[in-house]
A and B are shown apart, each in its own frame.
Chain A
Amino acid sequence: MRHSYYEDSARERLLGLLDEGSFREILPPTERVVSPHLRQLDTPAAFDDGIIVGKGTLDGHSVLVAAQEGGFMGGAVGEVHGAKLTGLLERALDERPAAVLLLVESGGVRLHEANAGLIAVSEVMRAVLAVRAAGVPVIVLNGGQYGCFGGMGIVSRLCDAIVMSEEGRLGLSGPEVIETTHGVEEFDSRDRALVWRTVGGKHRYLLGEATVLVDDDLAAFRAAALSLIGSTPDLGLEAMEAEHARLGERLRRFGDCRDALDVWERLGIAEPERLPILDTETFLATVSDKRA
């Protein structure tokens, strides 16, 4: 029976993802390490500042994990939240787990603590890069209702792999911000189909931004994460130059596309307008040799 990743809270996701009884939270809510800045702004705080970090096992493999709670301030990164994530990544340098799993759900930098949040995201970026350089894979899971935007959208693409469901969203600037700044003609943030074509899981998978596309099902996320443990990416110059070539090719092939439908058509997909309505299995079969 399917257990929706989308509907779950961050805590529920973690507990459902890891081996039963294996999760040990680091700096749990009982420590009450809350944001002092939110209090100053008369804004409610959370005992875990919106991120759960800890360790557990995935099919017996030792993993360090973090899960952002989108329900709290959109999962946005503040001083404490960011420090918990950085500390977890640095712990991976000491413990060398089989992987670090990041269950992302974030609007990016928390405006109430804007400078602290921005610097925190930068420290997370440095830490992710250090962990990867040490040979520990960092795997992103993205399928929550708040999506993953802002600095966390950049962090996600620093990692080894991204597992997304169709429901997940991944980008940099949220559609609402673009609409507010440049108008509805530039991006109609209320056009849900447009939003998901642009930043949703299926498009990200086709473009090569997401590694694996799974059903909105905790077991599917778990299986995908498991399959990615043990990958050791090449971070050398040749690999980076190859990636650079791929990204250059993307600009050349799709630089003048007006909409995702144009991109999908150019990828050689026969009926691109049908892609959003296909279930995951059919979608994957349809696009199997057509990804960018």
Chain B
Amino acid sequence: MESLTFEYQGGRPLASAPPATLVGVVSSGNLEVLVEPTDLGGACRIEVLTAAVGFGAIWQAVLDDFFDRHRIADVRISINDVGATPAVVSLRLDQALEALTGGQP
């Protein structure tokens, strides 16, 4: 198992502070994503615990892309991953954010 943490600055806080949301399932090729609005001094923190070891660079790329598209602040994202592909990871992250904000930016 590998533990990775990523932090992003310069995002915008969510319009409101909705309750935390969880999407996905910790099954093979899948992941669960827990998104919690929380005061991080403007940062977006993403913590990944993954069964697939050695893919740090790919996580960096996927999460950079995610932050580029959403640019959120004061959100903590926690991931339990079992070897999901980058496409599935991106999908779950988008789903999680959508569920959190109810589609609102």
Contacts and interface: CB of A to CB of B under 8 A. Distances in A.
Interface of A: 9, 11, 28-30, 32, 39, 42-48, 50, 69, 71-72
Interface in B15-63: 20, 22, 25-27, 30, 32, 34, 36, 49-51
Given A44-B26, A44-B82, A29 B49 contact: no
A72 B25 CA distance: 7
Nearest to B30: A71
B74 interface: no
Contact of B49 (A44, A48, A69): A44
B51 A47 contact: no
Contacts of A45: 26, 49, 80
A28 B26 contact: no
B90 interface: no
> Ordered nearest first, which 8 A-B pairs have the shortest CB separation?
A71-B27, A71-B25, A46-B26, A29-B22, A30-B20, A72-B26, A44-B51, A44-B82
27 contacts: A9-B25, A11-B22, A28-B22, A29-B34, A30-B20, A30-B34, A30-B36, A39-B1, A42-B1, A43-B1, A43-B51, A44-B1, A44-B26, A44-B80, A44-B81, A44-B82, A45-B49, A46-B26, A46-B32, A46-B80, A47-B22, A47-B34, A47-B78, A47-B80, A48-B22, A50-B26, A71-B25
Interface of B: 1, 20, 22, 25-27, 30, 32, 34, 36, 49-51, 78, 80-82
With most chain A CB atoms within 10 A of its CB, the pick from B1, B32, B50, B80 is B32
Nearest to B49: A44
A45 B51 CA distance: 10
Nearest to B24: A9
B79 to A, nearest CB: 10
With most chain B CB atoms within 10 A of its CB, the pick from A28, A44, A69, A72 is A44
A25 to B, nearest CB: 9
Given A28-B22, A44-B80, A46-B32, 10 more contacts: A28-B20, A29-B20, A30-B36, A32-B78, A43-B1, A44-B50, A44-B51, A46-B26, A46-B80, A47-B78
Contacts of B22: 11, 28-29, 47-48
A72 B27 contact: yes
Contacts of B78: 32, 47
